[in-house]
Amino acid sequence: MNIAFFRIEPWEREYIESREEFKKLGAKAVFFDEGLDQDHIPTDTGAEVICTFIDSKITKPVLDAFPNVKLITTRSTGFDHIDLEECKKRGIQVANVPKYGENTVAEYTFGLILALVRKIYHSYDQIRETGSFDLQGMRGMDLKGKTLGVIGTGSIGQNVARIARGFEMQVIACDKYPNQQAAKEVGFDYCEPERAIRESDILTLHVPYTKETHHLINKDNIFTMKKGAYLINTSRGQVIETEALVKALHEGHLGGAALDVFEEEGVIKDELEFLLQGSSEKPDLKTVLANHVLVDMPNVIVTPHNAFNTWEALQRILDTTIQNMRGFQEGKPVNLVG
């Protein structure tokens, strides 16, 4: 079995090659530092298994370049960067890592919440940059007694709700597939999305990116949020309409936002490469500009898609990825999507 790993750090390669489960595969593996998309296809395209990360784009041209591929395993829960329909046509299995960061991302979410509502970063930045200990503009709010709205109650959303209950917050949640047992055990109530958006003091998003969740928060509903409410996103950037968010913040309707992800993330992360090398994908430049506006707003915290990024979570991702390959090799596939 030939395996091609993309966007692999040296320590990850060392970890993978040291695992007994991987050695048992007897696989020939090649490792690439960069991601995979139609503008970055290696000369060696004989892989039967492709292992990617979320910054890769597995589209028809990429699949055309890999005639032998039978399995794509992504080191992420989300799989919107893979053309599932095209994979299905070709009989290619697609596997993900359904659970790895239920506590990891939830903890980061609350880090963002606290940094935002208690103005922790703003306080630190003021002292570091100006030496001023002035408390003007530093007043925050208690979490106790406030309402947290959780949209998406998978393993991450449930852990966010559990942490919120530790802060003695009231939690309301919505999900396409409600988990009433979890609601009872953790102590939250399900409601319609409209109510969660309307009644939450803090609204946090934990949904995958699909056609149904595209611009879940948009110009038609963002102004139904409480005046002064806060919006947190550690899921996917496309679930928020960026221009609507900028407008709600600029007009003072929202108190602030904390974003670990945003639309056109790939372009804004490496604008120099985009300008010098170009891309077959055409970004929405208005959204890219709106992202820059968000970054410069004093009541917005932006982090670089970092919520998943702990040693423990990354090791769980790699272990599950090896299990996906093992299941494929033995004809007992696991963690398939699509």
User: pLDDT per residue over 257-300, tens digit each?
Assistant: 999 999 987 666 554 455 445 555 666 788 888 888 999 999 99
Q: What's residue 136's pLDDT?
A: 93
Q: What's residue 267's pLDDT?
A: 63
Catalytic residue among 243, 263, 264, 265: 265
Q: Which residues contact 89 (CB under 8 A, 6 or more apart)?
A: none
- Residue whose structure tokens are 């910054």: 55
Q: What's residue 133's pLDDT?
A: 96
Tokens of 218: 């948009």
Q: Which residues contact 58 (CB under 8 A, 6 or more apart)?
A: 36, 37, 50, 52, 72, 81, 82, 83, 87
Phi, psi of 256, rounded to the nearest 5 degrees: 170, 175
The whole-number average pLDDT for the span 219-247 is 97
pLDDT of 47 strictly over 50: yes
- Residue whose structure tokens are 């939250």: 188
Phi, psi of 244, rounded to the nearest 5 degrees: -65, -40
Catalytic residue among 162, 236, 241, 263: 236
Q: Check residue 264 and report its DSSP letter.
A: T
CA distances from 294 to 80, 137, 142 (A): 24, 19, 25
236 is catalytic: yes
Tokens of 47: 């892989």
pLDDT of 120 strictly over 90: yes
Residue percentage of the chain with pLDDT more than 70: 95
| Per-residue pLDDT reduced to its tens digit, 27-42 | 999 999 999 999 999 9
Catalytic residue among 40, 253, 305, 326: 305
107 is catalytic: no
Q: What's residue 288's pLDDT?
A: 86
For 2-100+311-329, CATH gives 3.40.50.720
pLDDT of 156 strictly over 90: yes
What is the rounded CA–CA span in Å between residue 53 and residue 24? 23
For 104-302, CATH gives 3.40.50.720
Tokens of 300: 């917005």
What is the rounded CA–CA span in Å between residue 317 and residue 308? 10
More confident position, 273 or 226: 226
pLDDT of 60 strictly over 90: yes
Rounded to the nearest 10 degrees, how much is the dihedral formed by the CA atoms of 162, 164, 167, 172? -110
Tokens of 244: 């609507």
253 is catalytic: no
Q: What's residue 275's pLDDT?
A: 45
Q: What's residue 269's pLDDT?
A: 59
Q: Tell me if 175 sits within 8 A of 190, measured CB to CB.
A: yes
CA distances from 156 to 23, 104, 235 (A): 32, 8, 10
CATH 3.40.50.720 occupies which residues in the chain? 2-100+311-329, 104-302
